Amino acid sequence: MQLILESLFNGVAIGSVLLIAALGLAIVFGLMGVINLAHGELMMLGAYSTYITQLIFKLPILMPFYNAYVIVAIAVAFLVSGVVGILLERSVIRRLYGNPLETLLATWGVSLILQQFVRSVPLAYGAGLIIALLLGLLLPIVLSKEFISNRYDRFIKLGSWSIATLIGVLTASGLSSSISKIGRASARNVDVTAPSWMRGGIDLWGITFPVTRLVIIVITLISVLSVTWFLNRSVWGIRIRAVTQNRSMSDCLGISTETVDILTFGIGSGLAGVAGVAVSLLGSVGPNVGGSYIVGCFMVVVLGGVGNLIGTVIASFSIGILTDLIGAGRLLTIWPDMPGPLASTVDFFATTSMARVLIFALIVIFLQFRPAGLFPQKGRMVEA
């Protein structure tokens, strides 16, 4: 019984990381039909945002609040990845809707650009650039419409971007001079140190539950509940679902489909940043960290049913539990009387990497009989 509970916990922990990584992709790919191969690089930006936030909290003035840097990092990673995702949608993807092959190639190119960006640009300068973009996009939103809706609105927007650029330059300069650890991000990975309250484990029922894994499970649960509430209860969530079901009719009813596209892509990309926070707490962060998750994310979304959040949750935890059972060799321990040929096959795949190969092969076979996944999409979107 103890072995089963330990395997379930490890499977849920693995599935939580996969779920929070696939949640944003489920929104972008499932609701918008966009194949975004740069989703893994948005996770990578979220992981690096966590690393930079950690270094900033090591400054003497913020050191007393160091244990709270993870909470701040979640918000920062969401904003950074969300802004980059919105810029990606506005500059590239908006011109490629309805052309999946071109979208796939374009986002693949963007993923390579982002990887090389973090390799070549010092992190301090990259942080200053992101802050400038955040302020430049947010300041016009913060200002009241009455203030900017006059003949000077162009000058006000220009001034907003000028102020944002100045703050970004000052931030980059301050980070470069104040934090000696922020330098050039090479292919060598950097490490994120968990705060003291996230170290160690909790002993229960003879099993040690790592606190870091428990925190990631809580972050995943909050993310899933927040997305579910937003899509089903909020005004803009209902508008997103309406545009998904019938875009032309929603446009006729006065729903700004362009705003819906921006919001949907921003939220999906922001969730990728939150996934980057979780990934950074589990291991080293490098330019290629997102590439190890992108295939699994697409498998989760397709297996669960495109655009179905419940299916995404079930698929993530199922893959996580199977990965632990097969990869850690626990299946042979739980079922000692396994037939010889089957036992030899399970023993051959009893590593994490080989277990993923087996699971993905099983998913491909499953999709041959049920190509729409566990919970196929329903409604006018399918009829279209």
What tens-digit pLDDT sequence spans the chain (384 residues)? 666 777 777 778 778 888 888 888 888 876 677 788 888 888 888 888 888 888 888 877 877 888 888 888 899 889 888 888 888 888 888 888 777 788 888 888 888 888 888 777 776 677 777 777 777 766 665 555 555 555 556 666 677 777 777 877 777 676 666 554 444 444 467 778 778 777 777 777 767 777 888 888 888 889 889 888 888 888 888 888 888 777 778 878 888 777 888 888 888 888 888 988 888 888 788 888 887 788 888 888 888 876 677 888 888 888 888 877 777 666 666 666 777 777 777 777 777 777 778 888 888 888 888 877 777 665 444 444
Name the β-bridge partners of 208. Answer: 203
Question: What does R_g of the chain's alpha carbons equal in angstroms?
Answer: 22
The correct answer on CATH 1.10.3470 for the domain covering 2-121+184-377 is yes
Which amino acid is it at 184? R
Which amino acid is it at 6? E
In angstroms, the CA 216 to CA 5 distance is 18
Angle at CA 87, nearest 5°, toward 185 and 55?
30
What is the end-to-end Cα distance of the chain in Å, rounded? 49
| DSSP type of residue 183 | -
- Does the CA dihedral 318-320-326-328 come out positive or negative? negative
Which residues are CB-contacts of 198 (< 8 A; sequence separation ≥ 6)?
A: 70, 211, 212, 215, 281
Which residues are CB-contacts of 339 (< 8 A; sequence separation ≥ 6)?
A: none
Which residues are CB-contacts of 127 (< 8 A; sequence separation ≥ 6)?
A: 52, 171, 172, 175, 182
Spatial contact of 220 and 20, defined as CB atoms under 8 Å apart: yes
Q: Compute how many other C-beta atoms are within 10 angstroms of the C-beta atom of residue 61.
A: 9
Tokens of 54: 């950690």
Angle at CA 102, nearest 5°, toward 287 and 279?
25
Helix pair 2-32, 257-280: axis angle to 10 deg: 150
Largest pairwise CA distance in the chain: 81
Tokens of 161: 């971007």
Encode burial over 31-56: b for 16+ CB neighbours within 10 A, e otherwise. Answer: bbebbbbbbbbbbbbbbbbbbbbbbb
Tokens of 276: 């980057």
Q: Which is nearest to 279 in space by CA: 39, 46, 5? A: 46
Q: Is 218 helix (H, G, I), strand (E, B) or coil?
A: helix
Name the β-bridge partners of 111. Answer: none
Q: How far is CA 318 from CA 6, 161, 281, 311, 312, in A?
A: 15, 47, 22, 10, 10
pTM for the model stands at: 0.82
Q: Is 203 helix (H, G, I), strand (E, B) or coil?
A: strand
Q: Taking the mean position of all CA atoms in its chain, how far away is CA 340?
A: 41
- CB neighbour class for 2 (10 Å; exposed up to 12, middle 13-18, buried from 19): exposed
Which amino acid is it at 173? S
Total residues found in the chain within this entry: 384
Query: In this predicted structure, what is the pLDDT of residue 307?
Result: 66
Query: In this predicted structure, what is the pLDDT of residue 379?
Result: 47
- CB neighbour class for 163 (10 Å; exposed up to 12, middle 13-18, buried from 19): middle
The percent helix, strand, coil of the chain (3-state, each to 5) is: 75, 5, 20
Rounded to 5 degrees, φ, ψ at 79 are: -70, -45
In angstroms, the CA 305 to CA 302 distance is 5
